[in-house]
Amino acid sequence: MAGTTSYDTDQPASGDSSAAAAGYDPNYVPDSVKSFVVHMYRHIREKNVYEIFQMYETSFQSISDRLFKDSPWPSVDAVATYVDNDHVFCLLYREMWFRHLFARLSPTLKQRIDSWENYCSLFQVVLHGVVNMQLPNQWLWDMVDEFVYQFQSFCQYRAKMKNKTEQEIALLRQPDQAWNVYGVLNYLQALLEKSTIIQILEQEKEGLEQFTATDGYDYNGGSNVLKVLGYFSMIGLLRVHCLLGDYQTGLKCLRPIDITQQGVYTSVIGSHITTIYHYGFANLMMRRYVEAIREFNKILLYIFKTKQYHQKSPQYEQILKKNEQMYALLAVSLSLCPQVKLVEETVNSQLREKYGEKMLRMQRYDDEAFALYDELFSYACPKFITPSSPSYEEPLVNYNQDAYRLQLKLFLYEVKQQQLLSGVRTFLKVYSTISLGKLATYMEVDEPTLRTVLMTYKHKTHAVDSDGKITSNADLDFYISDDMIHVTESKPAKRYGDYFLRQIVKLEGIMTDIDRIKLE
């Protein structure tokens, strides 16, 4: 494919503040860029993953910071001569070129479409199995991540219909439009299927194949690109389905990855966080609070312990932002399902510091509490999208908030259905038995209403999965016999088994040490 970048002829979109075009010559290639592409090209041909990674992660950033803070990198045509006009390298270069542009400048519609076409060409090459490269997981993850991000960004952009120019609308109306939702999903699905990653993960369980053990790399001269892209596509699909509000399907896409274990998804911090953030969010929306709390807790603890190592990473800001959002989601989950014992001490103290006071107010279920649920949800939710094109015949209105408003409304609806539960919980906590009549008086409701509240408590705290298995999310439980309520608080189960196992190993270690002393 010939590079057809044409940013120089594009008009920046209205309201575009970037002064990118001014003084920028796409054909001027500074020496550092020349050296960058020449070395990168060589390392890719030599399959030197370590060096590729260094250049990708460090050199690209430092050159961007020095020379391309607010202008694009040189055009692909200008650098192609330094890399033998290598088709695949040019696709990779453009992928980075667009990613840099999206991160630092405001892309025009034409650029969005060009980037889509570049992804199509790149994925076609990968799908047809003609690549023989070994690329760092970080880069492959970034490709899938950026692909989904640009799709999301395109949907948001398209939905802001009000101040589009006629040219933009004409371009948007073209039949085989870029970033069509079917196209996006089918590319991810194609990578997933063509890579046969699901079968590979299955076979690995039986010891017939190695994937996780080598972090997805191929040490037998093959390429890791299709396999790992297929693997990350599962996470890409999870994210796209969450953006569409299809939580059930999103979680289904992720199922081949066992998130209770380490895996290739944990080898890149961005992929690890994206996976758990969307997994937790989907579970929260499906009312499986315990599952959401457990996974948020684990990843927040992990980020707390490791974030110092990522300070220089280009993803650092993103890590911190998702960290804050997940604390907000944890606060929401715990307010709906007060299972504090699932939360580790460090995470808990961070949580109290950030949201302790808000969480107390959220327990009250008055208007202010609803406003807080609204605030935390809006701050922490994914950027929901409307996947369909607008009707160009009707008057043009912005619809970029529609999807978000629907998800928020349905979530607050759920909160409202649970509003009496925290009150009843407070009373049940201090009794072991109490009559319905007495509790009704305390709660200032009549007896039939109290019965419905108690049944609601049971229904909302007991999740039923597709094979009819019931899981209790309640730490405080009760039953009614005739008109007496009997309360039972589940005691945190002490993990004696683990404790003994560890002590046995420790003792054995000490005994070995002692034996060694005797021998000397």
Partner 1 sequence: MSYTVEQLVAVNPYNPDILPDLENYVNEQVSSQTYSLNANLCLLRLYQFEPERMSTQIVARILIKALMAMPAPDFSLCLFLIPERVQMEEQFKTLIVLSHYLETARFRQFWDEAAKSRHILEVVPGFEQAIQAYAVHVLSLTYQKVPRSVLAEAINIEGLSLDKFLEHHVANSGWVTEKTQNKGQLIILPSTEFNHPELKKNTADGIPLEHITRILPILG
Give the one residue of 307, 402, 431, 435 binding partner 1; rule: CB under 8 A. Answer: 402
Cβ atoms 337, 289 nearer than 8 A: yes
Cβ atoms 297, 283 nearer than 8 A: no
For residue 413, which amino acid is it? Answer: Y
- Rounded Cα–Cα distance for residues 144 and 119 (Å): 10
Work out whether 480 is an interface residue with partner 1 (CB under 8 A): yes
Work out whether 516 is an interface residue with partner 1 (CB under 8 A): no
Nearest residue (CB) to partner 1, 221 versus 468: 468
**How many angstroms separate the Cα of 507 from the Cα of each of 501, 510, 511, 513?**
10, 5, 6, 10
x/- mask, partner 1, residues 291-330, rule CB under 8 A, reads ----------------------------------------
> Shortest approach of partner 1 to residue 440 CB, angstroms?
14
- Rounded Cα–Cα distance for residues 370 and 368 (Å): 5
506 contact partners, CB below 8 Å, separation of at least 6: none
> Shortest approach of partner 1 to residue 158 CB, angstroms?
14
For residue 350, which amino acid is it? Answer: Q
| Cα-based angle 138, 143, 144 (whole degrees, multiple of 5) | 105
- Rounded Cα–Cα distance for residues 480 and 454 (Å): 9
Work out whether 483 is an interface residue with partner 1 (CB under 8 A): yes
Work out whether 477 is an interface residue with partner 1 (CB under 8 A): yes
> Shortest approach of partner 1 to residue 6 CB, angstroms?
30
Give the one residue of 164, 278, 287, 358 binding partner 1; rule: CB under 8 A. Answer: 287
Work out whether 425 is an interface residue with partner 1 (CB under 8 A): no
- Rounded Cα–Cα distance for residues 66 and 33 (Å): 11
Work out whether 518 is an interface residue with partner 1 (CB under 8 A): no
Work out whether 501 is an interface residue with partner 1 (CB under 8 A): yes
Work out whether 417 is an interface residue with partner 1 (CB under 8 A): yes
In this structure, what are the phi and psi dihedrals at residue 68, rounded to the nearest 5 degrees? Answer: -125, 50
Nearest residue (CB) to partner 1, 360 versus 397: 397
Give the one residue of 120, 185, 412, 445 binding partner 1; rule: CB under 8 A. Answer: 185
Residue 232's nearest CA partner among 153, 150, 138, 99 is: 138
Sign of torsion over alpha carbons 144, 147, 153, 156: negative
- Rounded Cα–Cα distance for residues 447 and 189 (Å): 54
Please identify, among the stretches 66-74, 265-273, 298-306, 408-416, the one whose residues bind partner 1 according to the rule CB under 8 A: 408-416
Work out whether 186 is an interface residue with partner 1 (CB under 8 A): yes
Beta-sheet pairing, 484-489 with 433-435: antiparallel
Give the one residue of 4, 214, 388, 398 binding partner 1; rule: CB under 8 A. Answer: 388
Please identify, among the stretches 47-55, 154-162, 183-191, 348-356, the one whose residues bind partner 1 according to the rule CB under 8 A: 183-191
Nearest residue (CB) to partner 1, 50 versus 182: 182
State the number of binding residues for partner 1 (CB under 8 A).
Answer: 60
Nearest residue (CB) to partner 1, 88 versus 178: 178
Work out whether 459 is an interface residue with partner 1 (CB under 8 A): yes
Give the one residue of 22, 430, 470, 517 binding partner 1; rule: CB under 8 A. Answer: 470
Residue 158's nearest CA partner among 407, 322, 390, 448 is: 390
Work out whether 497 is an interface residue with partner 1 (CB under 8 A): yes
Work out whether 409 is an interface residue with partner 1 (CB under 8 A): yes
Please identify, among the stretches 24-32, 241-249, 289-297, 316-324, the one whose residues bind partner 1 according to the rule CB under 8 A: 241-249
486 membership: H or E segment, kind and range = strand 484-489
Work out whether 514 is an interface residue with partner 1 (CB under 8 A): no
> Shortest approach of partner 1 to residue 488 CB, angstroms?
4
Structure tokens at 213: 């053990």
In this structure, what are the phi and psi dihedrals at residue 28, rounded to the nearest 5 degrees? Answer: -85, 120
Work out whether 406 is an interface residue with partner 1 (CB under 8 A): yes
89 membership: H or E segment, kind and range = helix 87-104
Residue 454's nearest CA partner among 420, 413, 412, 430 is: 420
Give the one residue of 405, 426, 429, 441 binding partner 1; rule: CB under 8 A. Answer: 405
Please identify, among the stretches 50-58, 77-85, 184-192, 363-371, the one whose residues bind partner 1 according to the rule CB under 8 A: 184-192
What torsion do the CA atoms of 489, 423, 292, 324 make, to the nearest 10 degrees?
Answer: -130
Residue 188's nearest CA partner among 228, 146, 154, 236 is: 236
Work out whether 438 is an interface residue with partner 1 (CB under 8 A): no
Which chain residues interact with partner 1 by CB under 8 A? 181-182, 185-186, 189, 244-249, 285-287, 387-388, 402, 405-407, 409-410, 413-414, 417, 448, 451-456, 458-460, 462-466, 470, 472, 477, 479-483, 488, 490, 493-498, 501, 504-505, 508
